[in-house]
Structure 1
Amino acid sequence: MLIQSEFVDLNTPTGIMRTYVHKPLTHKKTPAILFYSEIFQQTGPIERAAKIIAGHGFTVLVPEVFHELNPIGTVLAYDDAGRDKGNADKSAKDVEGYDADNQAMIAWIKKQPWFSGHIGAMGFCIGGHLAFRAALQPEIEATACFYATDLHTNVIPNKPNQHSMNRLKDIKGELLMIWGKQDNHIPEQGRKVVYEKMLDAQLAFTWHEFNGQHAFMRDEGERYDPELALLGYDLALKLFQRKLA
């Protein structure tokens, strides 16, 4: 399926959020997917990943996750400077800003003539956590989280009750959790903490651990695993097709 790409600038309580929209060329109404990037925002690998999902019949929105901390259009490099800046932005952004960002995108989607009435979420790395965070919104019916960082740690200063893992009762949709066993950002014990809490909360979810490193979905760099990436896309698309399409 052919797609077209554009962007929309959405108003949020913390300023304009540029959001890239990748839409299949079809006359049919389509579901929407909120797609969350790594700390580097919409890099080439993230744009290509979003287009893969869009090419299967979903309109994909990629927000600039740290829009209030950077000029519009900022893309950080996959190097030490980019990593340091992205991690600093992650620490600086108030967690409630992510909720407001999600609400702004959902409100915009609901007004679009192409919208079918169903919304999902997906993300890589911190974006996996932000997709999980989006699942707190009642409109989100299906969520695919790839090696979601910081779910197993409390990284929200002075707001423990707002940590994503302390709000599991707000999640109503189905979750797909994908991890790499060789991911040094999310050790085995951390994954166990997340699994047990999700199990105790009686969430609807599937859980997959593969022999892969952190960022194995990113089609740039030595950690990319094409075989696992194809498997990951297949799992996410099957979830979205079953729950949203």
Structure 2
Amino acid sequence: MSEITMTQADGKILSFGELLLCIMPDLNGHRVEQNNLPRLTGGAELNVASALALWALPSTFLTALPPNGISEQIISYLNKRGIDLSNVFYRGARIGLYFLCNGHDLKHAGTIYDRAHSAFADLDTDQINWEDALNGVEWLQFSAICPALNQNLVNICLKALQIAKSKDITISIDLNYRSEVWQYGKKPEEIMSQLVEYAYLLMGNLWAFNKMLNIPLSPEFINVGNKTRHVNEGETLSKKVISQYAKL
């Protein structure tokens, strides 16, 4: 496959994943008492789609939302940000949520997810026509949070990857690791080792590669972990990953 970059892409860049509503209480409970909880529209893949649109790249987003007025308002808002939403799939009854206390980042143990039986989480394997969805697409992006939700989404991601490969579409995967989401009896490395076989680009920190692909970290790094050691460990780990996965 010829080498391309996002800035050279003539076709669309498709981000696939769950749109989430983020609700932000504070640690002392004042926002709950005042009935004033800030809300944001987000999700890892939507954040990518939004950034690409901001950079004037041809960004499209595929997700599932319930057919109701809240979804319509969200779609209207995202359309104004320049994201192509023609691939949004309308089904189900609810939008996934997560609660993030003010001052905590997304990896904090206090993050509470409420994603079970959302429109996206309950997608069936054959509900998305990937042949149509990938028409005109040059780059497919999703994160490890998608297959973390359930086996159906593993199958959906695998089907998307297979069709993307047949269309010679560049594939990138963000190795987001959220331990709270992997709750259906499979270990991340069981699933992700299959999916990254299709990827041309992987993103993630050292711990994500360790958890997702079972790439070992050296004892020296774990015990010391200073800046220089961190850089050296990154170089060593990258070589291990590249040697293990031929497309990278």
TM-score (normalizing by structure 1) = 0.41
> Larger Cα Rg: Structure 1 or Structure 2?
2
TM-score (normalizing by structure 2) = 0.40
Looking at secondary structure, tell me which structure has more strand per residue.
Answer: 1
